[in-house]
Structures are given as structure tokens and as C-alpha cells.
Amino acid sequence: MRYYKPVAICKQCVVGACSAIITDYPRDEDDEMPKWGARMVAAIGMLLGAAGAAQAQWNVKAEAGVVAARGNSDSDTSNAKFLVSREFIRWKHTLEAAGVYASDNIGTTGQRWNVREQTDYKFSDKGFWFGSGRYEEDRFSGFEYQSTLGTGLGWRFFDDPITKLSVQIGGGYKILRRRDSLAEDGVTLIPGMREEDGIVQGSVDFEHQLTDTTKILNKLLVESASDNTFVQNDLSLEVRILGSLALALGYAVRYNTDPPPDFTTTDTLTTLNLVYEIE
């Protein structure tokens, strides 16, 4: 780990970023959550750029995969992920984004995107405080959107070139809107409602270098509220093929304990992606 001179973070930048979220937060019941999500990401960008003059350790990772089938049936599936992290002194900022799109000869069959940001402050060699925000939209799930803000404590059990394992737990606040659904009679429309609730959240990040060119990664995220618990687990096996390029075989599971009627609790996604990473 390399250390650099401390840098003063611009107070006006921090205040301005927080004000952009709080002042513009939609109060209307027919809220404009996507606009709020965009404002949140923009504010996060201001925070990440507040220490622009400092030298820091960067990690950038991008991956994407596309499958196209033609013949008796036509279908297209694509997915992409992006991660950038910046670490200096005791602070670390991580921004992640991902998207999935699928279609066939009838129309769109899958469309989801999400963004997540986390800021860590290391108060000991292994312990750290974190603050995080997550926003997602899934056109074919039981929720129009789900958004969370949280904070808590984490612990790095292993952090070496071979094995990395960190666990974090905390609390936060969740806002979501359920989609409209049909009642059991198949005629009566049940309007989707906007819900807010406190949550307990936890996550486990694991990475292990199996060989010089192969590593396994697993990320588990749990957000538990009074009426629904969301669980996401991303498992990936990466094989480096040339320099910064690698192939990744991934399997993702998403689970909601209480989705609206007519929607399933579990979604899975299997991917084969080309990965480009700079450390």
C-alpha cells in the first residue's frame, strides 16, 4: 500500500452535493425517482472529484458480453458492467454500474440497470466505516425501482495478493415502488404503491487467486426491510488471456422475499464476458 500527502476536500463541494440531493428530492406522490437517481449520481461525482489534485491508487474494470441467435427464432442478449475505485490515505471511493438487455422477434424481454456507490474510511488496519447508495430499475420485475442509502462498519479479514475477504453490516433507508398488478379475479387492478422503510444491510466480498491467471470472485448483498428482503449474489470465474484482458464466466442470483402478485421471487443470469481491467 502506497501513501500520499493528504488533500483537503472542498467544503463547498460536499455541501453542494448533499444539498442537490436533499433540496431536489421529489415530494410528489407520482415521484420522479429516475431524476432523483440521476441527481444522486451527479452528486456522487462531485464528491469523487473533490480531491482531484491528489495522487491516488486507481482501479478500473469494464466487462461486456453479447449473444445473438438467428434462425428459427431470433434473440439478442447483452450485458455490461463497469467499476472504478479510487483509494488515497484512509479513504476509498467505489462506483459500480451494470445493465442487462434482452429481446426476441416479438420485443424486449429483459431490461435492467443499476448503479451503486460506496465510500469507505479506514480507521484501523482491518476496520472501516462505510456509507453507500444504490439505485436500480428493472422493467420486468415486480418493482419499478428500488433505492437505498446506508451506513455501517466493515472488517477486512484478508487483504493480500492471494485472498481478499471483507464483511460489512449496517443500517439504512429504502425507497421503492411496486408495479401495478392484477388481483386473484384477474380483472381488478391493484395499483403499485411507493414504500419507504428502514433496512438492515450486509455484504460479503470475496476474491481468491487460484493460479497466476485464474481467480474466483463472489459478492453477496442483503437488504432486509419489514415487508421485503432483497438478496443478490454474483459469482464469477475469471481467466486472464492477455495482459489486462480476461474471460469471465458469471452466475448471478437475485431474490425478493415478497414481490407483487404474478411476479416470481428469483431471477438468475448466466454470462460469458470479455473483461478489461487496469490496476
Q: Which of 61-70, 109-118, 157-166 has the lowest mean pLDDT?
A: 61-70
**Assigned C-alpha cell, 225:** 426491510
> Looking at residue 123, what DSSP letter applies?
S
Cell of residue 149, nine digits: 442509502
C-alpha to C-alpha distance for 199 and 192, rounded to whole angstroms: 20
The mean pLDDT of 238-245, rounded to a whole number, is 95
Query: Per-residue pLDDT for 89 more than 80?
Result: yes
Name the maximum alpha-carbon separation found in the chain. Answer: 66
CB distance 60 to 54 below 8 Å: no
Mean pLDDT, residues 268-274 taken together: 94
3-state secondary structure 49-83: HCCCCCCCEEEEEEEEEEEEECCCCCEEEEEEEEE
Poorest-pLDDT segment among 47-61, 149-163, 235-249: 47-61
Per-residue model confidence (pLDDT) at position 78? 95
Q: What is the pLDDT of residues 129-151, one digit of tens each?
A: 999 999 999 988 888 899 999 99
Query: What pLDDT does 252 receive?
Result: 95
Model confidence band, residue 1 (pLDDT cutoffs 50, 70, 90): very low
Neighbour count for residue 203 (Cβ, 10 Å): 21
> How far apart (Å, rounded) are the C-alpha atoms in residues 102 and 20?
34
Q: Extract the runs of DSSP E, i.e. beta strands, from the chain.
A: 57-69, 75-88, 91-104, 108-122, 127-138, 143-159, 163-178, 181-182, 189-190, 194-209, 214-224, 229-242, 245-256, 266-278
Task: Write down the CATH number for the domain with range 56-278.
Answer: 2.40.160.40
What are the tens digits of pLDDT across the range 50-82? 444 445 799 999 999 998 877 767 889 999 999
Q: Residue 3's pLDDT is what?
A: 42
5: confidence class by pLDDT, cuts 50, 70, 90:
very low
Question: What percent of the chain is predicted at pLDDT more than 90?
Answer: 59
Mean confidence (pLDDT) of the chain: 83
Residue 13 has pLDDT above 60, yes or no: no
